[in-house]
Amino acid sequence: MKIIDGKAISTEIRAELRERSEKLKAEKGITPGLAVIIVGDDPASQIYVRNKARACEELGFYSEVIRLPAETTEDEIGEVIDKLNADEKIHGILVQLPLPGHKDEKSLLLRISPEKDVDAFHPYNVGRISTGDYGFLPCTPAGVMELISRSGIEVSGKDCVVIGRSNIVGKPMGMLLINASGTVTVCHSRTNNLKEVCARADILVSAVGRADFVTADMVKDGAVVIDVGMNRNAAGKLCGDVAYDEVAPKTSYITPVPGGVGPMTITMLMRNTLYAAEQAAK
């Protein structure tokens, strides 16, 4: 059994990104710029936003955090997005979700220019992902694909099972695995015989959001297990979806939580921001 070290792989990719970014600056005089809009004061969102700004700083990117009060209207957020769409210093825009209140997140995400949509949530970019004609890649699934490929794991021809069908993780994860020529099953809360389906997987990706959800009897001997879940256990400790102690000995590769998929997501956001800046320089 090998533990996939997401921190080490993330550090390796960030070094590559720094090099690409310095080249862009030297050759075209462009510094990649990311704007993050945060509405309200949700503590988890504050931490995510801080980490994104810190990653920008580390890579020498320009970053702006636009903090808006919880009562900001959709129209007002839309106007901020319009300004950022027109701002040449900014190559990537993201709205930190969830938004407080009952705001129409979909229509706000649609307002972000597809060329600056570094979360890859805009239907234009979702469509490109489904056709395999990549521009931006959705950050968490793209991070999983990097963990798999940089660990030397072949996807082509493998039985891949994804648990979860959210627009952010499960669905695009399935799409990227299909594009890599895996044979993919995407499961959800209505899936029949989930245990049996999972136990057939050569590569099992869990994105459910429940501690100890994936147990040893759901995992084939020698499978690759990727744990996207980020949960708190009864003791308040960060954990994934996988009952790690009982599952790990059965696997050929497994990602830990923390230190697996988590560190990759922001790194992929940085990659998308750099890609946007490179495209703008063309």
Minimum CB separation of residue 189 from ligand NAP in Å reads: 3
Backbone angles phi, psi at 167, to 5 degrees: -70, -20
Binding to ligand NAP in span 203-222, by CB under 6 A: 207-209
Considering the rule CB under 6 A, would residue 187 count as an interface residue with ligand NAP? yes
Collapsed DSSP state (helix, strand, coil) of residue 139: helix
19-33 burial by CB neighbour count: b if 16+ within 10 A, else e? ebbeebeeeeebebb
Which position among 96, 171, 212, 227 bears the catalytic label?
96
Minimum CB separation of residue 175 from ligand NAP in Å reads: 14
Reply yes or no on whether 41 is catalytic: no
Q: Which two tokens stand for residue 232?
A: 């708190």
Size of the site for ligand NAP (CB under 6 A): 24
Which position among 5, 117, 119, 202 bears the catalytic label?
119
Considering the rule CB under 6 A, would residue 191 count as an interface residue with ligand NAP? yes
Reply yes or no on whether 52 is catalytic: yes
What span, in angstroms and rounded, lies between the C-alpha atoms of 179 and 119? Answer: 19
Residue 103 vs residues 73, 80, 145: alpha-carbon distances, Å:
8, 15, 32
Minimum CB separation of residue 87 from ligand NAP in Å reads: 27
Reply yes or no on whether 221 is catalytic: no
Collapsed DSSP state (helix, strand, coil) of residue 243: coil
Pick the closer one to ligand NAP by CB: 40 or 138.
Answer: 138
Pick the closer one to ligand NAP by CB: 90 or 186.
Answer: 186
Pairing of the two strands 253-254 and 2-3: parallel
Considering the rule CB under 6 A, would residue 94 count as an interface residue with ligand NAP? no
Instruction: Report the Cα–Cα distance between both ends of the chain, in Å, rounded.
Output: 44
Residues that bind ligand NAP (CB under 6 A): 140, 163-166, 168-170, 187-191, 194, 207-209, 228-231, 261-262, 265
